[in-house]
Amino acid sequence: MSRLAGQTVLISGASSGIGAACAELLAPLEVRLILLARRTAKLQLVADRCVAAGTDLDNLLLVEWDVRQPFGLEHLPVGWRSIDILINNAGLSRGLTKLPAGEVADWEEMIDTNIKGLLYLTRAITPGMIERGRGHVVNLGSMAGRQTYPAGNVYCATKAAVRAISEGLKIDLLGTPVRVTNIDPGLVETEFSAVRFHGDWEKADRVYEGLTPLTGMDVAETILFALTRPAHVNISDILLMPTAQSTATLVDRQTRK
Ligand code: NDP
Ligand code: 8X3
Specify the pLDDT at position 246.
97
Ligand 1 atom at minimal distance to the Cα of residue 21 = 25
Based on the structure, what is the number of domains in the chain? Answer: 1
Specify the pLDDT at position 257.
58
Ligand 1 atom at minimal distance to the Cα of residue 18 = 25
Tell me whether residue 252 is in a domain: no
Question: Residues 6 or more apart from 168 whose CB is under 8 A from it?
Answer: none
Q: Say how far apart CA 54 and CA 255 lie, in whole Å.
A: 35
Residues 136/179, Cβ–Cβ less than 8 Å: yes
Q: Is 155 a catalytic residue?
A: yes
Tell me whether residue 165 is in a domain: yes
Q: Residue 204: give the domain boundaries.
A: 8-240
Tell me whether residue 20 is in a domain: yes
Specify the pLDDT at position 2.
87
Residues of the chain with pLDDT under 70: 256-257
Q: Say how far apart CA 152 and CA 106 lie, in whole Å.
A: 12
> Residue 211 is part of a domain; what is its CATH number?
3.40.50.720
